[in-house]
Structure 1
Amino acid sequence: MRTGRIIKSISGVYRVDADGEMFDTKPRGLFRKKKFSPIVGDIVDFEIENVTEGYIQHVHERRNELKRPPVSNIDHLIIVMSAVEPDFSTQLVDRFLVIAHSYGLNPRIIVTKKDMTSEEQIQRIEQYLVIYRNIGYSTQFVGKDDNIEAIFDAWGSGLAVLSGQSGVGKSTLLNAYQPDLSLETNQISKSLNRGKHTTRHVELFERKDGFVADTPGFSALDFDHIQKDEVKDYFLEIQEYGQACKFRNCNHIREPKCNVKAQVEAGNIAQFRYDHYVQLFEEIANRKERY
């Protein structure tokens, strides 16, 4: 029996990396009976059938898991935004951060296409990145001439997952990191201000002290697993200042003696972050029950 990590999954075949050796494996029938499917990132035990093939016997318990795209045991979620084409959006950053925290992931923010951005736009984006850094997030703003290898290696050990809209440059970053990958990239749709999907499956690639994953781009984010009362916990500064509100179950919207609203007024919580919190809270509160 060998142990390894699933690095790729296509048409029911799972490529497993076991200490640098690659095996194409299939799950035993018992997984189908349990209606359980292994996913990329899973640590699995498998029996070798021949030199390069085997059968998965056991999937180790997942530390965490993203539902869409399906990938598990993530150490760093890298939220990739572009400065332009598509334009930088703090609302999208905040929605990705909420998703990351809801799954117990450690998010970082990287903004691409600095070399395609005007000095005025760079200054505006940097002002936002300062706010995110003050909250406690790691941020990076990169262009094509930056040392991408050093940036990837600075994330530390484990599995780093690149996530973000189509067209923000996830595959371009990976190509810069490992030029021999030759991942497909695509132009931005000018009318939609977003890219076409170029990555069609999740795949892990080796990096120093771990792996990095390119994931299919998002055009919509799914908050179905989040309840309205949980949203305040996923805006870190709101969660922190909220502990001083008069009412323990304060949602920081219409309640009296709310410390969060006082801190927004005082400038200690960015107005745009609070606005995005309220918007997402009300969006989740108003969603229709599904049967």
Structure 2
Amino acid sequence: MKIDLTDTTSSKINKALVQGRRALGTPAVGMVLTMIIVTDEENAYDSLRAAEEASHEHPSRTLVVIKRHARTLRDRTRPHLDAEVRVGADAGTGETVVLRLYGEVSDHADSVVLPLLLPDAPVVVWWPVDAPDNPSKDPLGALAQRRITDLYAVEAPLAALETRVASYAPGDTDLAWTRLTPWRSMLAAALDQARTKVTSAAVESEAENPSAELLARWLQARLHVPVERVVSGGPVVTAVRLGTARGEIVIDRPEGPLATLTLPGQPPRTLALKVRPTSELIAEELRRLDADEMYAIALRGNGVKKEGKGRG
């Protein structure tokens, strides 16, 4: 069910949500959080689709905040708010409100959103693009327990990463870090099996890859060894090599969903290591809303050598 509201207010939007639930016989209970997506019109559809897929695991009220550029003289001279309310099958397993803010209303998005938050429930803010330099100080970010950014959406991701280091606050996280969860799990399992001390490390990826940089910093901070960044021809993170006295521990994924794990003295084995869609990344981030201490450690890791020449 969809309800379109033109030149509206937060109070009228709340009434429309109640109206929609009553029409469908759907209670408001069961939703566990409020997800705020701050995006532009171009990226709104894909972002909302990812959030709705994640809502099957985490039923939520999703508020999409789109700050519209004025296209007519009327838009420039008269600030207003338009909304699209979705309940039932049109909103995943929760409720969705698409908010389009015009004129000066765009400068007060937090005042528009605040009355629409679920009472006594956590708030998560996600910026698929154009994240603020300091998410926790942003008016919308200040409402949230969890703030999600994505360095993959930035033109200069490594420069933006340094900005994230300076502005980090508990509750901040980035999808470039979330993409590394399978890599970190496999590396931890490989080290448990190898039971040998690591003396060096290298992370291979395309140039300027933020996930590879975070992985290198995490390895340096946890293993206390020098970590080399190596530029490879493949996309995203393609390999991690850990040097030991007994030989290299290697996870190699040049392309596709499969990786090869090599341990000293053991035959290579094939592992599943696919590139996950955004909906899976968001669902993972919503499973725990406390501070991600490992992300903070990875951000602040140091001693990573600059990119070297590719192998082979």
TM over 0.5: no
Structure with a larger share of its residues in helix:
2
TM-score by length of 1: 0.31
Q: If you compute each CA radius of gyration, which structure gives the higher value, 1 or 2?
A: 2
